[in-house]
Amino acid sequence: MYITKAELQDFRNYENLVIEFHPNVNLILGNNAQGKTNLIEAIYLSSLGKSFRTSNDFEMIKFGKKFFRIKIEAEKKDEDVCVEMAVSKESKAVKLNGHKIRKISELLESIYIVVFSPEDLKIVKEEPEKRRKFIDRELCQIKPVYFNNISKYKKVLLQRNAMLKENSPKITLLEIWNQELCEYGAKIITHRAEFVKKIDKISSEIHKNITNGREKLHVQYESNVPFMKNLEDQKSLFLEKINENLEKDLLRRSTSVGPHRDDLKITINGIDIRKYGSQGQQRTAALSLKLAEIMLIKDETEEDCILLLDDVLSELDEERQNYLINSLSGIQLFITSAELSEKVKSTLPEGKRFYVENGKIKEAE
């Protein structure tokens, strides 16, 4: 699978752009704040229908304009794919292969994209929300049913929390929200547990190779509600925990248990590196997790994903740069950077080189 072409109109700092890409490597070079990340952000929208930088679609509209349009074309083993999106302050419309879709979940499984940015290097040591997003982003791509469950769970959670903030919450209505929260939450916990088990196995092997066998990486799911193998048992346990914490929830006016409180425990040789790992260990673990994402997509879908490396090579030392590049043969790469050393450029497969300046792109000859 690879992206063949992108068309952007009034997206971020791009007025009108039509650009064709190489199936192997696409280097997007230029100074900071010129539009490098904006370009790969537009590409990423074709995968999940939302940005990896903002939750507000309006922020992507060019300043002074009323809407943006993007069109991303890709080739897969069995079919061509075209994703179009138009966003204004009043509406958002998405088309897949010329047909308007009603729900974003219909877009999933069309184009598989993994993004790796400097923020992802902090995933190990920063707040649990970053690690939950790591899980959710991946699961939404490979399991559209998960996307539906997490979306519904968040809506129910908002409704329950809103009721908890009322002066006199109606317990009978809370019981309805509790049932729905447990219905979707139990499914989320089950999917997350399966995902983390797979990602643990793959990332552990990758990490072992990067460190020449010196370190053993282990990723463990820390569910706020203990994991149960049977779905009905999971629902029952979740509901039990919700009821146990009702008094506390009423006092704090928020929901204290559920997958919105989950985390990952990440250890190297048995030591929790979220708290005690060196920066080098944390970055290597993050790199292992990202590469594991790519391999998991291949295992689950039999499709190669597209990798967006957003200014991340400069954050890695030479050893990790080499490992990353050598691990990615056969997949399409988009690499943004202010500059790359000639040594790094020489190790990259055949591709195209683009230079970005103030929303204008020029291909190197």
Which tens digits make up the pLDDT trace of 214-262?
999 999 999 999 999 999 999 999 999 999 999 999 999 999 999 999 9
Which tens digits make up the pLDDT trace of 86-142?
999 999 999 999 999 999 999 998 999 999 998 888 899 999 999 999 999 999 999
Which residues participate in the annotated binding site for ATP?
A: 30-37
How far is CA 210 from each of CA 134, 215, 219, rounded to the nearest angstrom? 21, 9, 16
pLDDT value at 167 more than 90: no
Mean predicted confidence (pLDDT) in 156-182:
93
C-alpha gyration radius of the chain:
22
How many Cβ atoms sit within 10 Å of the Cβ of residue 163? 17
* Span between the terminal Cα atoms of the chain, in Å: 25
Q: How confident is the model at residue 169 (pLDDT cuts 50, 70, 90)?
A: confident
Which residues participate in the annotated binding site?
A: 30-37
pLDDT value at 267 more than 90: yes
Q: Across the chain, what does the average pLDDT equal?
A: 93
pLDDT value at 365 more than 80: no
Structural domains in the chain, CATH included, are 1-112+303-365 (3.40.50.300), 124-300 (1.20.1050.90)
Mean predicted confidence (pLDDT) in 64-75:
97
Alpha helices in 93-170 (DSSP H): 128-142, 144-164
Which tens digits make up the pLDDT trace of 287-325?
999 999 999 999 999 889 999 999 988 888 888 888 888
- Report the length, in residues, of the chain: 365
Which tens digits make up the pLDDT trace of 340-363?
777 787 788 889 999 999 999 999
Mean predicted confidence (pLDDT) in 193-199:
97
How many Cβ atoms sit within 10 Å of the Cβ of residue 250? 14
More confident position, 337 or 329? 337
pLDDT score for 188: 97
Q: Which two tokens stand for residue 295?
A: 């391999």
- Whole-model pTM? 0.92
| The 113-116 sheet, strands edge to edge | 113-116, 306-310, 332-337, 25-29, 351-357, 360-363
pLDDT score for 342: 79
Report the alpha-carbon distance of residue 41 to residue 183 in Å, rounded.
34
Report the alpha-carbon distance of residue 114 to residue 116 in Å, rounded.
7
Q: Which two tokens stand for residue 293?
A: 């994402």
The sign of the CA dihedral 42, 262, 324, 140 is: negative
pLDDT score for 350: 86
One-letter identity of residue 91: S
The sign of the CA dihedral 320, 325, 326, 332 is: positive
Q: Which two tokens stand for residue 109?
A: 């499984």
pLDDT score for 231: 96
Q: How confident is the model at residue 78 (pLDDT cuts 50, 70, 90)?
A: confident
